[in-house]
Amino acid sequence: MAAIRAEIPHVGTTRGQGRRQVSAEEQRRLAALHEYRLLDAPADDELEAVVRVAAMVAGVPTATLNLIDEHRQCQLTTTGFAGGDSPRSDSMCAVRFQTGEFTYVPDASADPTYAANPWVTGLLADVRFYASAPLVTPQGYALGTLCVFDSQPRELSEDQIARLKDLAKVVLALFERRRQARVNAQLLAEAEDRRQFTNAVLDTIDVAVMAADPSGRVTVFNRTGREWHSDMSREPDVAPEQVAERYKLFRTDGVTPLTPEEVPLLRALRGGTVSGAEIVIRSPGTAPRHVVVGGRGLRSTSGAPLGAVIAMTDVTADRARRRALEKAHTDLAVTIAELQRSNTELEQFAGVVSHDLAAPLAVVNGYLELLADEYRERLDEQADKWITSATRAVARMQELIRALLSYARAGSEPCRREKANLGEVAEHALLDLRDTIRTAGAEVVVAGEMPWLALDPTLVRQLLQNLVGNAVKYRHPDRPSRVTVAAEPRGTEWLVTVTDNGIGIPESERLRVFEMFAQLGVAGRAGHGVGLATCQRIVERHGGHIWADGAPGGGTTIAFTLPGA
């Protein structure tokens, strides 16, 4: 068009364009404009056709599709001239487009609103006739105009105005279709991304997931499920009554096939919730797999059935462990019964020992004493030695029997715990040993204030009596015997020590001394090797442990733990 004399400048190269204060409403309008993503994008053939039709309807050689952003007017497509961008401040369409009304000026040079506009004055063009139909979104935001103009004054009929308005609506519809197509494509891409992500997650987990549509056709079967049903891909569509046979589903015995009413997926499809159902999968070529199944039916927001989904967790190893534990419990029950029988026999043995062995020994000892008393003058020195040796052997046998009885009772009699003061228990033990302590010239000290503990007073009295008796028995020949009993807290337990200055226990023997019949072989003072084993039994029955260590300056410390009160 010859009347358009100058090339339209790009936004930012305008004269007199200051920085505009953008209102909140204008910000919302601009957001709506940018949502369509039309600026600086080529117009499609349909938009170009609409602009040509608009020029023909108005009977003018030139028409344009103008979009108005914050600073510029973008001529998206034109007919009759080469369009471009121009400053918003120079735009004729930007003057009234936000009113939402059709604008019609027969002669712009005679209109005060447009007479000084550079499109009218000749700076950009010599526009006289001007008409524009605003492009208004359903939300009421004006994006621009469908504009027709000419260098000659003209008139428009009502019908022409109506058709131009219709064409503006067509333009909006094309805008909306383009936006919706883009949104749909984006949603489709996002849906595909979500689908791929969901499939990746399902194929990563070690839980078999299976879903079906309302007809029962399987629609989802993740990697784990496919591995558990190695031949499922050959027949994707399976009738409900054939599901158990097709997928090799059995009850927990691994032999009885599931009925259709028992198949978890079908139960979920019938609207039920499946929780904790246990079945066995016996897919060909794989070991039987014990699984726990949970799932439910799926429904839309309107309540329409969508199908069902189930998840299967492999508990084969867990069930194997459970069977092993059950067997272990059974074996343990048998062992406990055997131990109870053994304890009963041990108690019976203790009774037999105390009567059937101890009584004859007492008789033997009595006859030896009579023999020594009545026939001493008739016996020679050798006979006296034999009688003395026999008497000592009987005494040693009696001591061994008493030690064995003590060991048996320490393990077989009930451990009756009660709140007791360790100091009082220790005093009773020392009272039992008063003759032994006095004869040995030993000093036994209970150091400090003793705690109240949860213990069996009789057993712990026996424990301390054995330990203090041993300390005095194995005293050092070159120094007076001194024994100290002490206790100190250690967490929820108490550490009790019996420390002496005796001959000590070699470090290499400190573990072995608690074994049954273990002896150190000290000349003249050999025991039976039962005392410390009895002590260990008593401590363990209280839930503690016992050990031997060296004492500062020589000697032995026997330490053990007991629970607090």
Give phi and psi for 291, each to the nearest 5: -130, 155
Helix axes 45-58, 158-204, angle to 10 degrees: 170
Pairwise pLDDT comparison (93 vs 374), residue with the higher score? 93
Q: What is the DSSP letter of 174?
A: H
Give CA torsion, residues 127, 133, 139, 143, to 10 deg: -30
Residue 45: the pLDDT is 93
Can you tell me the distance from the alpha carbon of 304 to that of 300, in angstroms, rounded to the nearest whole number?
A: 5
Pairwise pLDDT comparison (524 vs 243), residue with the higher score? 243
Can you tell me the distance from the alpha carbon of 12 to that of 88, in angstroms, rounded to the nearest whole number?
A: 10
Q: If you average pLDDT over every residue of the chain, what do you get?
A: 85
Give CA torsion, residues 195, 201, 202, 205, to 10 deg: 180
- Alpha-helix residue ranges (DSSP H) falling in 381-449: 381-412, 422-432, 434-440
Residue 343: the pLDDT is 62
Q: Where do the domains of the chain lie?
A: 24-182, 208-314, 320-395, 416-563
Q: 116 pLDDT exceeds 50?
A: yes
Pairwise pLDDT comparison (161 vs 416), residue with the higher score? 161
Residue range 208-314 in CATH 3.40.50.300: no
Residue 7: the pLDDT is 44
Going by C-alpha positions, the residue among 104, 34, 99 that lies closest to residue 67 is: 34
Place 547 in a pLDDT band, splitting at 50, 70 and 90: very high
Token pair of 433, please?
């040993």
> Residue 455, SS3?
strand
Give phi and psi for 82, each to the nearest 5: -85, 115
Going by C-alpha positions, the residue among 97, 112, 110, 105 that lies closest to residue 168 is: 97
Q: What residues contact 519, with CB distance under 8 A and at least 6 apart?
A: 526, 527, 528, 529
Pick the most confident of 115-129, 174-188, 230-244, 395-409.
115-129
> Residue 86, SS3?
strand
Q: 9 pLDDT exceeds 60?
A: no
Pick the most confident of 197-211, 290-304, 516-530.
290-304
DSSP H or E segment with residue 149:
strand 142-150
Can you tell me the distance from the alpha carbon of 66 to that of 69, in angstroms, rounded to the nearest whole number?
A: 10
Give me the architecture of the 24-182 domain, per CATH: 2-Layer Sandwich (3.30)
Q: What is the pLDDT of residues 138-179, one digit of tens each?
A: 999 999 999 999 999 999 999 999 999 999 999 999 999 998
Tell me the pTM. Answer: 0.45
The yes-or-no answer to whether 24-182 and 208-314 have a common fold is yes
Compute CA distances 404 → 459, 530, 533, whole Å.
15, 7, 10
> Residue 143, SS3?
strand
Please name the fold of domain 416-563.
Heat Shock Protein 90 (3.30.565)
